[in-house]
Chains A and B, each alone.
Chain A
Amino acid sequence: MGRARNYLDDRLLGALGCLVGVGLVRLVPHMVLGEAALIPGSDVVFIRGSFFPTAAAALIAVTGLWLLSSDLIMRRLNRESAPWPVHDLNRAEIFGGIGFLIGAAAYVALVIHVSFTIASAVVFFLLARWLGGKYVWALVLAVATAFAMDWIFGEYLRVPLPGRLL
């Protein structure tokens, strides 16, 4: 398994960072509930519960702005903003990767609502076939692995998986 090293445009990442950071800063007062003074009965209020989340969110926004502005400045100066290729993206691979993760999410949903063993057997078989495994071997692998995990986790590790069959 290799790793693809394709980086999105820093402008987009920077802008996203700014949006996320600012959004979180705005959200903190609504999401940090029931703030209280650290010293009850005292007027002196030190760092409240919202301070650090706000600081972290602000730092996300600031670094996003830094990334965005440095990218724009470097482009203006007509230089590569990063020492490695930023447009070396393969669309098919990106869609494939996202598709795989969506498939993993669907697998998790099946595990939760149906059964780990059944969902795993089906998903393992489809995945093994797609990755180039022969039909019979993929079927053997899928069924054996699904049932083996069900048994090992349930009997040996005492962690019954959802919808346990064995």
Chain B
Amino acid sequence: MENILLGLEQVADPAVILYIGMGVMVGVVFGALPGLTATMGIALMAPLTFGMPTLLALPFLIGVYRGGLHGGAITAIMIGVPGTPANVPTVLDGYELAKKGYPQSALRYALFASVAGALLSSVLLFTLITPVASLALEIGSPEIFGILLFSMTLVTYISGARLSKGLMAAALGMFVGMIGLDPMVGTPRFTFGTVGLLGGVPMIAMFIGLFALPELVGPVEQRIAKRSGRVPSAAESARPSFSAPDDNIRLRDVIRHYWRRILVSASIGSFVGVLPGVGAETSPWLSYAAAKRGKRGKKFGTGEPEGIIAPEVATDAVVGGAFVPLLVFGIPGDVPLAVMLGALLAQGVRPRPSLIVDDPALLFGIVASVLVSSILLYVIVRPFTRFVRLIVYIPNWVLVPVILGLCVAGAFGVNNATFDLVVMTVFGFVGYAMRKTGVPLAPFVLAFVLSARFETSFRQSLLLERSFLVFVQNPFVLIMIILSLAVIASSVIMNARQRTRGMSSEETTP
């Protein structure tokens, strides 16, 4: 209780609430625009926060994340194109309901679901963070290695249908993560004599290059397709509708009719969020599948509100759960949080178990910001539902130059170094090549972020015990190793079955 009050005290400042609100608005815009994602929003906004105090910068980025997750539902509903990969299930019923003439109702169901999921998982975050952090204080390098090994193998689950490509992406990410100084003895590795690489590959510039630049290629390809007479995409051919009726759907009605579904979906989302590496793209599908088995399941795909509520609750519920491993172990639950980790490190905040002892005000301030962002999502978006849907119609000739300028200014702004611009450009090509070859980005990013700690914990464990048996004699580590092998084995079997059946599956890269 003391910790909750400490956290709320940090965010009680009107300036903090203002910054969270601004973050939510920016996030909604990024999430709502087709082709832009919450990840891009965080990557582009992070450099802007480096001059801010920590307890303004981080709440702002949390607001961007929160807004971005909900914003993706707007495009999913209005034009049938998911704004972020996590909003794919929302298209199935959200777009159908919009086509029936109730886009505003669909948007309200999505908003209320997002808020409900966000609030429930924030409460869970407040509840879990203290016991998990206290437990984490008792563990050492071997246990941290075990947790990170399990996290890295969970990467195989987010590879999509091609396990080999996912592992290749993870290996490449791990390699890139090792560029810089050896963490144990400080000697340079793959720095090519460049001062700019001594601290490792600049993370934010790399993320901007990987996520933002290749997305800007989309309108270029659309333009070429249009000129060559090919069929335009749904985003291009959509036209705004101003005649949608207002059904006056209220939050209390949604909670009254769907409280069971909300609780189940929030539990799914929070649990998935706690698992490192699994992320926001998996939970909405799990929740949608669970809801489809319910009594309203037969109506799914026809504009059934529960088909919108289930995935949206789960998507937002991931955030609370995902912050637990992020703040305690520095393990991001998904790709946007990997970028957020970069922002945390740039602010001088190193997530670690002892943060609860060293700086509880900061830790619980961040936790309270997650809660407040949930409330502000409702307060800000609810009055503007009718207008928020118009974001999706901003033309490409406005968006692309502005986003490109933000990419360059943002990448430069991190370290005031032109070298970062070079890194951003190089990884722009890398990100484009990965998309075109179907190599997923998520394993690359997660492996990159975890590689340094993975290596350090492994080598520290060996230093402490002077033997490889340290990983086998420790029961916790042994269990983690067995679980990791089980994850790999089941991924291999699932992939082999899919290939044998010749199933077609869509592989999206975040």
Contact = CB atoms under 8 A, between A and B. Distances in A.
- Count class of interface residues, chain A: 35 or more
A157 B466 contact: no
B462 A128 contact: no
B187 A83 contact: no
B189 interface: yes
B224 A127 contact: no
A133 B395 contact: yes
Interface string B150-190: 00000000000110110110111011001000101101111
Interface in A107-161: 107-108, 111-112, 116, 120, 123-124, 127-133, 138, 141-142, 145-146, 149, 153, 157-161
B429 A101 contact: yes
A165 interface: no
Contacts of B418: 112, 162
A46 B233 CA distance: 56
Interface in B398-442: 398-402, 404-406, 408-409, 412-413, 416, 418, 421-422, 424-425, 428-429, 432, 435-439
Contacts of B213: 101, 104
Interface string A33-55: 11110110000101101101100
Nearest to B184: A38
Contacts of A34: 185, 187-188
B220 A83 contact: no
B507 interface: yes
B4 interface: no
B255 interface: no
Given A7-B438, A92-B224, A131-B223, A145 B428 contact: no
B263 interface: no
A166 interface: no
B401 A123 contact: yes
A53 B190 contact: yes
B310 to A, nearest CB: 25
B499 interface: yes
Interface in B174-219: 174-175, 178, 182, 184-185, 187-192, 213, 215-219
Interface of B: 33-36, 47-48, 50-51, 81, 161-162, 164-165, 167-168, 170-172, 174-175, 178, 182, 184-185, 187-192, 213, 215-225, 228, 230, 233-236, 395-402, 404-406, 408-409, 412-413, 416, 418, 421-422, 424-425, 428-429, 432, 435-439, 451, 455, 458-459, 462-463, 466, 498-499, 502-508
Contacts of A35: 187
B398 A141 contact: yes
A127 B401 contact: yes
Contacts of A105: 425, 428
B402 A145 contact: yes
A163 to B, nearest CB: 11
Given A31-B189, A84-B507, A52 B178 contact: yes
Contacts of B223: 96, 130-132
B425 A104 contact: yes
A21 to B, nearest CB: 8
A79 B500 CA distance: 10
Contacts of B405: 120, 124, 145-146, 149
A157 B45 CA distance: 12
A116 B399 contact: no
Contacts of B428: 101, 104-105
Contact of A49 (B50, B182, B225): B182
A132 B187 contact: no
A131 B451 CA distance: 40
B184 A52 contact: no
A53 to B, nearest CB: 5
A56 B413 contact: no
Main secondary structure of the interface of B (DSSP, over half): helix
Contacts, number: 260
Contacts of A149: 405-406, 409
A34 B181 CA distance: 11
A47 B458 contact: yes
A108 B225 contact: no
A97 to B, nearest CB: 4
B140 to A, nearest CB: 17
29 contacts: A5-B507, A13-B437, A13-B438, A31-B191, A36-B187, A47-B459, A47-B462, A52-B178, A53-B189, A56-B175, A59-B167, A60-B168, A79-B502, A80-B502, A90-B225, A93-B220, A93-B221, A97-B220, A101-B213, A104-B425, A104-B428, A107-B408, A108-B422, A111-B421, A124-B402, A132-B397, A145-B405, A160-B416, A162-B412
Given A38-B463, A52-B174, A84-B507, A108 B425 contact: yes
A138 B402 CA distance: 11
Contacts of A100: 216-217, 220
Smallest CB-CB A-B distances: 9 pairs: A1-B35, A133-B397, A59-B171, A124-B401, A1-B218, A131-B397, A56-B175, A63-B168, A7-B438
B409 A116 contact: yes
Contact of A46 (B36, B439, B463, B503): B463
